Amino acid sequence: MEKQLKHESPAQSLYNEPYRPHIHFTPESQWMNDPNGMVYYEGEYHLFYQYHPHGKTWGPMHWGHAVSVDMYQWKHLPVAMEPDSLGMIFSGSAVVDWHDTTGFFNGSHGLVALYTSADGDFQQQSIAFSKDKGRTWHKYEGNPVIPNPGIKDFRDPKVFWHEASEKWIMVLAAGQEVMFYRSSDLKRWEYTSKFGEHQGAHGGVWECPDLFQLPVANSDKTKWVLEIDVQAGAAAGGSGGQYFIGQFDGKGFVNEASEKNVLWVDYGKDFYAAQSFSDMPDSRRVWLAWMSNWQYANEVPTHPWRSAMSLPREVSLTEGEDGKIKLLQRPASEINGLINKEFINSTVQLSHEEKSICLQPDAPFSLTFNMKTDDLSRVAFSFYNSGVTNSCDLVIDKEAGEITFNREKMKMSHFHKDFPAKTSAPFDTEKEYLKIEAIVDRGSVEVFINDGEQTLTNLVLPEGESFTISGASNNGDLEVDCKGHSFISIWK
């Protein structure tokens, strides 16, 4: 039975607990991590996710389940899949079998989930299917469809239909590389190649790959994007995501950039296991990620739930003047349906002394800063500023070519040694203007630099009820165009 998410009465705290996000998906209670099985089918976006329904920390993994019509406002559904004789239900993906290649749907179509069966450290790939829009699942009697070949870390299948070769393609994390398989029916798989040796970052095992093709804006080019997460050693320390741009021929991937040049998906601490929706109803590619970090994920002091998903982000490719192709990320446009009230639309003069820009609205909200790059030296903006040592700061350093998010001063940041961090992203100092959009929720800040050329995603743990947003510039007077609006809560 579907359960519409609601905002509870003041006497009930559900969805109104401290740090509970109000435009980001969270489970009602208990533990959540990687997004799984993201697919659009018959008018609904499906989000499955790693879920432990019986405890507050990591445990035997199930697939939790929610659906949405806009990728923001979600309905919780019952747990989709539970552990079985092959083990726990680890991460994976889902597709629409439009032409009944599996034979599961009597000539019609339906959903097929591909996931890792994990019995301790022994991991294999299995499938399940649904004939009722994902409400009930039937595990294939021939599981596993890819037995373990003797690899400890062998998981997280991402599957898609490759039109050119007329095959299903699977990209699978295997240690510190990925392996490619192909199939005609999602049941029988042929290994074709692997990728990863001497490529990109190798601070930890590789996990949760994704692979898709995108056009390059304002050109006739198309490129393949291979996204892979690394469990340790990411840009901000701990876990994070990297991506490669190149070509895929139905059998193997070729990286077109320098093999040692790491392209980070996000420069914050809390953007991991990104996965994109399959079978989108339009030409967009949209992904979201688990908003946490394995350094401290088990200890983040939220209750009665733990973990949130990032905003859904549309990803695209653009080519710079230097000929290099880069990934852009922007909040999926459906967020405009949540816009509530404008709280600032003015030009602010900043100087050496810290100045209050405006009262901070009750989160969630979006605030965009625009300023001339030539006028910059070092600029600092503070959120959740309560006049005591509590704020988180966004610092622009033109000389260093970096934008840094600092949550060290926040009182609750010290629950774990790796949480009170400064995280930095590069920015283009040659552009005439610098544009920064910060989307602030009750437990997170997502920063989009120059329309998503770089992003910084970080959890925050604010204390207090009344805050201001302030700014200062060490380069004398600085004009900053500020535009901000609040969002309605998805729980109301």
Q: How many CB atoms lie within 10 A of CB 411?
A: 13
Please name the amino acid found at residue 94: A
């291979």: which residue's tokens? Answer: 226
Catalytic residues: 34
Give the tokens for residue 61: 């993994």
Contact 117/88 with Cβ under 8 angstroms?
yes
**DSSP assignments along 23-55, one per residue:** SS---SSEEEEEEEEEEEETTEEEEEEEEETT-
Torsion of CA 461, 467, 469, 473, to 10 degrees: -90
Note the Cα 204 to chain centre separation in Å. Answer: 19
Cβ within 8 Å of residue 85, ≥6 positions away: none
Strand-strand pairing, 454-459 and 339-350: unpaired
467 CB-contact burial (10 Å; exposed 0-12 / middle 13-18 / buried 19+): buried
On the CB side of 293, how many CA atoms lie within 13 Å of its CA? Answer: 27
Give the tokens for residue 184: 């005609």
Contact 360/338 with Cβ under 8 angstroms?
no
Query: Rg of the chain's alpha carbons, rounded to an integer?
Result: 22
404 vs 73, 382, 389, 394, 455, CA distance in Å?
31, 12, 18, 6, 11
291 CB-contact burial (10 Å; exposed 0-12 / middle 13-18 / buried 19+): buried
